[in-house]
Structure 1
Amino acid sequence: MKLLVSALEHSANLHLAELKKHLPESMELEGIFSAELGEPIVDLRSLAIMGFVDALKKLPFFYRLADRMVEQAADADKVLLMDASGFNLPLAKKIKKRYPDKEILYYILPQAWAWRKGRIPVLARTCDRLLSILPFESAHYPAEAPIEYVGHPLLDEIDRFRGPEESRSTGIIAYLPGSRRGEIRRLMPHFRTLRRRLPEHEARIVIPPYFDAARIRDLYGDLSGFIPVHDTHSTLYESDFAFICSGTATLEAALIGTPFVLAYRAKALDAFLARRLVDLQYAGLANLFSLDFQGRPMHPELLQEDLSVDALLKAYETFDTRRYLQDVQKLRAYLGGGSSVKVARIIMERQAAS
């Protein structure tokens, strides 16, 4: 069986690696994914984009890449799209137009429930299976849409969790300033000052493993006082507390059971547009989930003008760890388990029935 995969982003490839463990060895992967998982048609490093100008320069490259994927789809039994809606949704439309009977599965869906809701009907009519990792997501789709909740992939990938009554002190605080240039540069001044004001703790800073030395120097500046690490899950599990940029790491911390505060500051114009285009009460997924199952957030968020070193310190000093760890258990129960086994079965089931 041939599976055409489009997984452009680092996080999608982590989920794909877990999914691949549950697919038969005879499954042949083709398309766009990490070279560690097979033989892709393109080096993922060539897809990296830094800024608007760079994106414009690379548009012809992405158009050619999409055309190549459409040609590859001719011999594929199924198509699996993962995240990256800017590339994958137009690709899905092209493949469905060329091959109307080709089964397209979309795993890790675009967050159309939060912004650009016009994509929802496009997804519903273009894809044969919409595999959601958010329990509330299907409520935003029409009843006839082929969407189903399959669990959350992080529950497959995290292997250590703190218990509801687990009390310990390691003396470690984790700092996660994100992976994008702007967010790192805007958070690092706060984190450096914060580290100086918490000198009794060991400070570990999580840096993406694919950053080279030159990029680290450029983005992070002076890292004296910090211990650079790459393993997010182990670092969060071993830490008493974490200061985390908005993103997937906030949900990872919540599932593991590490107390944390979400910190984020965007450019003023970006923040202005987001407030008008994005229909969300909170930035963190754990808080959005918590609103759904208990009507209140789990952890503090400091965004834009509310973000300061003093505010970060106050959030750290007043954090209600006991209540948070009880909420963590509710969150895990709410998500219900991992997604990889179920998605693997879905990929195989119609093939077996055909």
Structure 2
Amino acid sequence: MRIFISTGEVSGDLQGSLLIAALMRQAEAMGLELEIVALGGEKMAEAGAKILGNTTSIGSMGIFESLPYVLPTLRVQRRAIAYLKQYPPDLVVLIDYMGPNLGIGTYMQQHLPNIPVAYYIAPQEWVWSISLRNTSRIVGFTDKLLAIFPEEARYFRNNGANVSWVGHPLVDRMQDVLTREEARNKLGITPEQKAIALLPASRWQELKYLLPVIFQAAQTIQTQLPEAHFWIPLSLEVYRQPIEEAIKKYGLRATVVSGQQKEIFAAADLAITKSGTVNLELALLNVPQVVVYRLNPVTVWIARKILKGSIPFASPTNLVVMKPIVPELLQEDATPENITQAAMELLLNSQRRSQILADYQQMRHCLGELGVCDRAAKEILQMLEDRINNC
């Protein structure tokens, strides 16, 4: 049985790889042989997928920020549709990646309506939708929507989708993590050191807008805390050179590592991070964090005029429970001074740290129980079985 999976960016590649591993496990238990073809990245390839196009670096947030990626996105979307036309799969799974996946889903609905489509981790229409147009398109071409947040499930169910809430896949991923002591020993972090994780970028635009302010704040922090050492896990190896050059420019005591993100998180006293899936990973490992985000000022002006403050939070950690668990410094508030102040408070104010850790526990209950990826895989394989039985 052939499954086609479409996703993009670094987070989609991670979520896709976790799902593929679960699909392979569950298929073996059911006596099914799977072939998985995908748009994704290296992690999905390692999990067993044949990659049609690498989409990990094709993505951005914002209007002007997206312009350089229009042609690469259209090319990869056309490649996917050409493949689907020539080799119709038995089932399609879409993971986030709204622009390309809306096109692929619409193609399936119009040209291959008998092939079931599952949407796993739907676009965050439930957070920032200004009309029901895209929601209606998603509901129209999706046979089963596998939601990761309770509010996401409610939103799409209320708009006519066939929804199952499976929980968030990071609940599974963050189980096999070293203890704090083990992680610090493995990384060579001494007891007196303050280990601070810096996560400035998983997109090129973030190197431009986020890295300078985060590194300026880090520069100030290390003058105030001589015991501070910064750890920077790479989301993509291609970012190593610009990050290492910036470390020299700002004179930071910092270590850049690849492939040890979970160990760094487990060992960290604090993280200064971009907004994104990584915020949930940090929360699940009880790491206090300062969330920072900036976009092109014109993009922000347009968004504010259209959305008019309808997005309550940027970080998934805060969105899950709709309360400010972690500090968010967005756009003009994302200054080195504000980042430094928020970071120092979380490092030195034990009461503030304790409050964040308590709020993390509340948030954790909204992410579901262990076995998320296997639940999602079973739902998808059940769709396959139903198709076989109906043929």
Q: Aligned ranges for residues 164-175 of structure 1 at < 5 Å?
A: 170-175=193-198
Q: Secondary structure at the match of 2:119?
A: strand
Shift of residue 217, structure 1, vs aligned partner: 5.7
| Letter aligned with residue 322 of structure 1 | S
Structure 1 residue 202 displacement after superposition? 0.9
Q: 1:45/1:20 Cα in 2 relative to 1: closer, same or farther (>3 Å)?
A: closer
Within 1, Cα distance between the matches of 2:272 and 2:54?
Answer: 29
Question: CA-atom RMSD, angstroms?
Answer: 2.7
Deviation digits for residues 143-201 of structure 1, max 9, x if unmatched?
A: 532122110011111134989xxxx9751111111222232222233233322322220
Matched, 1:264 2:293: yes
Counterpart-to-counterpart distance in 2, 1:60 and 1:139: 32
8 Å CA contact 2:13–2:56 kept in 1: the answer is no
Residues 43-82 of structure 1: matches in 2 within 5 Å?
A: 43-44=53-54, 48=58, 52=66, 54-58=68-72, 61-62=75-76, 64-72=78-86, 74=88, 76-82=89-95
Query: What's the secondary structure of 1:337's corresponding residue?
Result: coil
Whose helix fraction is larger, Structure 1's or Structure 2's? 2
Q: Percent identity?
A: 26
**Structure 1 pair 189–43 and aligned structure 2 pair: CA distance change class (3 A):** same
The whole-number CA distance in structure 1 between the counterparts of 2:152 and 2:369 is 16
The residue number in structure 2 matching 1:85 is 98
- After TM superposition, the structure 1 stretch with the greater mean CA deviation from structure 2, 4-13 or 123-132, is 4-13
C-alpha distance in 2 between matches for 1:63 and 1:351: 24
Deviation of 1:73 (Å): 5.3
2:231 aligns to what?
Answer: 204
Report the TM-score, using the length of structure 1 for normalisation: 0.87
Q: CA deviation at 1:325?
A: 0.9
* One of 139, 147, 164 as aligned partner of 1:124: 139
Q: Deviations over 1:281-303 (max 9, x none)?
A: 11111111122xxxx32011111
- Confirm or deny: 8 A CA contact 1:4 1:72 kept in the other structure: no
Q: Is the aligned partner of 1:343 residue 2:376?
A: yes
Q: TM-score, normalised by structure 2?
A: 0.79
**Aligned AA for 1:107?**
Y
Contact kept, 8 Å, 1:170 with 1:239, in 2: the verdict is no
Instruction: Choose 338-347 or 180-189, whichever is displaced more.
Output: 180-189
State the shift of 1:206 in Å.
Answer: 2.6
**SS of the counterpart of 2:210?**
helix
Residue 206 and residue 132 in structure 1: after superposition, are their counterparts in 2 closer, same or farther (change >3 A)?
same
Secondary structure of 2:118's partner? Answer: strand
Matched, 1:184 2:207: yes
Of the three residues 286, 298, 314, the one matched with 2:325 is 298
Aligned pair in 2 of structure 1 residues 195, 285: CA closer, same or farther (>3 Å)? Answer: same
Which of 98, 103, 116 does residue 103 from structure 1 map onto?
116
Q: CA deviation at 1:54?
A: 3.4
8 Å Cα contact 1:79/1:102 also seen in 2: yes
Q: Which amino acid aligns with 2:205?
A: G
Residue 255 (structure 1) shift: 1.8
1:314 maps to 341
CA contact (8 A) 2:37 2:52 kept: no
Farther-moved stretch of structure 1 (138-147 vs 238-247): 138-147
Deviates more, 1:98-107 or 1:12-21: 12-21
Question: 1:223 Cα shift?
Answer: 6.3
How far off its partner does 1:28 sit?
1.1
Structure 1 residue 64: deviation in Å? 2.9
Verify the 8 A CA contact 2:74 2:100 in the aligned structure 1: no
Give how far 1:241 is off.
0.8
